[in-house]
Each structure stands twice: as structure tokens, then as C-alpha cells.
């Protein structure tokens, strides 16, 4: 009898299906698609019932989705906030409904930190610093040369755009010859990245030496604009970008991109684990930072087979 009881205990009943409402930014980039795939696969794997809403990069759609999850009385709400501000009201409604909220990927600026339980995501300031450090080292090979930098920012008001700019500028301040002459948002998309780079090139004020793009998709769009202007991307104009998606590795293999700073989208498994702990009432870390590296073109061929997104 004892052994069967022990056996019973050993084969734990499957965890009760947890219902998660997830509001995703959109489908604007390769990074975002990989992030969505990771979340959906992890929910399936973990037996989590996932209610998934794509906001098409509009904050009002995320607010609507969160309100709908509250009305459906989900066990937990998770979301990647398209911009940092404007969340206090809807998060207070979730708190009043006693539904815990987890942030993934991007942070929010709220007056009351108790409005979310935890934030899993990258350190975007550090990603910007890594991009700046690559350029500092590259510029040191040709000391004294002025380098005219143009910058494609991510979505206006988003944590990655604000922080990647901050980290990059903090580091390049170390070399007064490195100057950002133009900076505009390409909204993290290839199409807008190409459009804004065309405008930078048309301005024809100073020769552009470097492009710093806040994500690979905008860099890939800019590469098309640079080629259409008769210039060689990666040679006439050095290109630094962030994410580490497959498209960036292919561009580096083609000699058109010089370095990509990894930003890991594969947060799905961590998110499901964290959601279970939160719903079980366990104390969890307020901030969980994803580990990530830097991939210059020289390692692209070796690295490409290992890439999972």
C-alpha cells in the first residue's frame, strides 16, 4: 500500500491549466516574430492556455487587450509594452481585479512599481554600450579621423529606443571625433528604415561614415537604400545594429553589415516558469535580465548554424 502511495506521489498530477492573457507589440520585425513563436511554443509545451493579442504596434490596442483579459478573469497577464508611458490606469484595473501582471521584453514607467510583479527582458542600455564599444575600437584603428554617424532609432518612446540611444551616446562620448549628425525613428521596421536612410543620403550635407541602427530590420532596409544610392554598405558606410536575427548574419556574410549586438527574443520558457511561480504565490525577482553577446562579421559564418532565431 505504502509503495503504491509513494508511486502515486511520484507521478504528480499535471499542473492545473493556467490561463495567460498575452498582449504582444505587433509583428514588426524578425525579432518580434521569433519572440512570439517562443511564447506560443512554451505555452503549448507547458500546458498554459494562452490568449494572444497582436496590437499592431498601437498602445490603445494593448490597453483594450489587457481590459479584455481582466474581463475574462485570466490567471495572469503578460505583455511587452510598445512604449514606456501611459500604463498606470489599466494596470491599476488589473491590480483591482487581483490579476498579476508580468512585463516581458520592454519596461514601463509607472508611478507605483507594485503595478507589475516582474520584468523579464534585456538590458537595452548595455546593448547600446556594446554597439558604442565596437565603434570605439574600430575608430581607434584610424585615430584622429572624424566619423559622421547617422542613427535609425526604434519606436519613439519605447524602452529599447530610449535606452539603446543612451548607452551608445554614453560610450562614444569617449571619442570627440565620433559625432551623430542625424537621428530619426524607423519604427523598428525594414520599410521605414529604408525610407529614413534614403532621406539621410539625400540630405547630402556630409559624407556618412557610420550607421547605428537600433535593430537589424531597420539596418537591412537601410542597406537597400545605401546600395540604391550606389554606395557599398559595410564598406563606404560601416553599419552597426542590434538583435542578432538570421537576416543580420546573412548580411554580414555578404559583407554588408559589420556587427550585430544580440538581443535574445527566446523568453517563452522563462515566462511560463515565472507565471506558474507568480500564480502559486511564490516570491519572484522583480527584474530578470537575459544573457546575450556581440557578433562581429568575422564570426558570422561560424555562428550562423548555431542561431535559433
Task: List contacts with ligand GZL (CB under 6 A).
Answer: 28-29, 31-32, 105-106, 122, 160, 188, 215, 217, 242-243, 263
Per-residue exposure over 261-279, b if at least 16 CB sit within 10 Å of its own CB, e if not: bbbbbbbbebbbebbbebb
Residue with cell 556594446: 130
Q: Kindly give the pairing relationship between strand 259-262 and strand 294-296.
A: antiparallel
Nearer to ligand GZL by C-beta: 35 or 258? 35
Minimum distance from CB of 192 to ligand GZL (Å)? Answer: 11
Q: Which is nearer to ligand GZL, 45 or 289 (CB)?
A: 289
Q: How far is the CB of 127 from ligand GZL (least distance, A)?
A: 8
CB of 19 to ligand GZL, least distance (A): 25
Give the nearer residue to ligand GZL in terms of CB position, either 38 or 215: 215
In the complex with ligand GZL, which residue's Cβ is closer, 18 or 61?
Answer: 61
Quick one: 32 or 192, whose CB is closer to ligand GZL?
Answer: 32
Closest separation in Å from C-beta 280 to ligand GZL: 27
Q: Cβ 27 to ligand GZL, closest distance in Å?
A: 9
SS3 annotation, 47-91: CCEEEEEECCCCHHHHHHHHHHHHHCCCCEEEECCCCCCCCHHHH
Minimum separation from the CB atom of position 160 to ligand GZL (A): 4
Q: What's the min distance (Å) between Cβ of 242 and ligand GZL?
A: 6
CA-based diameter of the chain, in Å?
Answer: 86
Nearest residue (CB) to ligand GZL, 264 versus 279: 264
Instruction: Return the number of other C-beta atoms located less than 10 Å from residue 234's C-beta.
Output: 19
Query: Rounded CA gap, 211 and 231, in Å?
Result: 13
Indicate the burial class of 295 (C-beta count within 10 angstroms; 0-12, 13-18, 19 or more).
Answer: buried
Contact 101, 136 (CB under 8 A): no
Q: Locate 108 and state its grid cell.
A: 514601463
Measured from the CB atom, is 105 or 151 closer to ligand GZL? 105
Q: How far apart are CA 150 and CA 199, in angstroms?
A: 11
Amino acid at each position: 500500500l505504502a509503495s503504491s502511495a509513494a508511486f502515486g506521489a511520484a507521478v504528480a498530477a499535471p499542473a492545473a491549466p493556467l490561463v495567460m492573457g498575452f498582449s504582444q507589440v505587433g509583428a514588426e520585425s524578425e525579432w518580434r516574430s521569433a519572440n512570439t513563436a517562443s511564447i506560443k511554443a512554451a505555452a503549448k509545451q507547458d500546458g498554459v492556455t494562452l490568449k494572444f493579442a497582436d496590437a499592431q504596434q498601437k498602445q490603445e490596442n494593448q490597453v483594450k487587450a489587457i481590459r479584455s483579459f481582466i474581463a475574462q478573469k485570466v490567471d495572469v497577464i503578460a505583455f511587452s509594452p510598445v512604449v514606456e508611458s501611459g500604463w498606470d490606469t489599466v494596470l491599476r484595473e488589473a491590480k483591482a481585479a487581483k490579476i498579476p501582471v508580468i512585463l516581458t521584453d520592454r519596461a514601463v514607467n509607472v508611478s507605483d512599481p507594485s503595478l507589475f510583479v516582474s520584468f523579464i527582458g534585456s538590458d537595452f542600455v548595455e546593448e547600446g554600450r556594446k554597439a558604442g564599444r565596437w565603434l570605439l575600437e574600430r575608430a581607434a584603428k584610424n585615430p584622429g579621423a572624424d566619423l559622421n554617424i547617422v542613427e535609425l532609432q526604434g519606436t519613439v518612446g519605447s524602452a529599447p529606443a530610449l535606452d539603446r540611444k543612451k548607452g551608445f551616446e554614453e560610450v562614444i562620448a569617449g571619442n570627440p571625433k565620433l559625432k551623430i549628425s542625424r537621428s530619426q525613428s524607423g519604427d523598428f521596421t525594414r520599410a521605414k528604415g529604408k525610407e529614413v536612410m534614403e532621406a539621410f543620403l539625400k540630405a547630402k550635407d556630409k559624407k556618412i561614415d557610420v550607421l547605428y541602427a537600433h535593430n537589424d530590420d531597420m539596418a537591412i532596409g537601410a542597406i537597400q537604400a545605401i546600395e540604391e544610392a550606389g554606395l557599398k554598405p559595410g564598406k563606404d558606410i560601416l553599419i552597426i545594429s542590434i538583435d542578432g536575427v538570421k537576416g543580420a548574419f546573412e548580411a554580414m556574410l555578404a559583407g554588408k553589415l559589420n556587427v550585430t549586438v544580440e538581443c535574445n527574443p527566446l523568453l517563452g520558457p522563462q515566462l511560463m516558469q515565472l507565471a506558474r511561480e507568480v500564480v502559486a504565490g511564490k516570491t519572484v525577482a522583480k527584474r530578470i535580465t537575459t544573457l546575450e553577446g556581440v557578433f562581429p562579421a568575422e564570426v558570422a559564418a561560424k555562428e550562423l548554424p548555431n542561431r535559433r532565431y
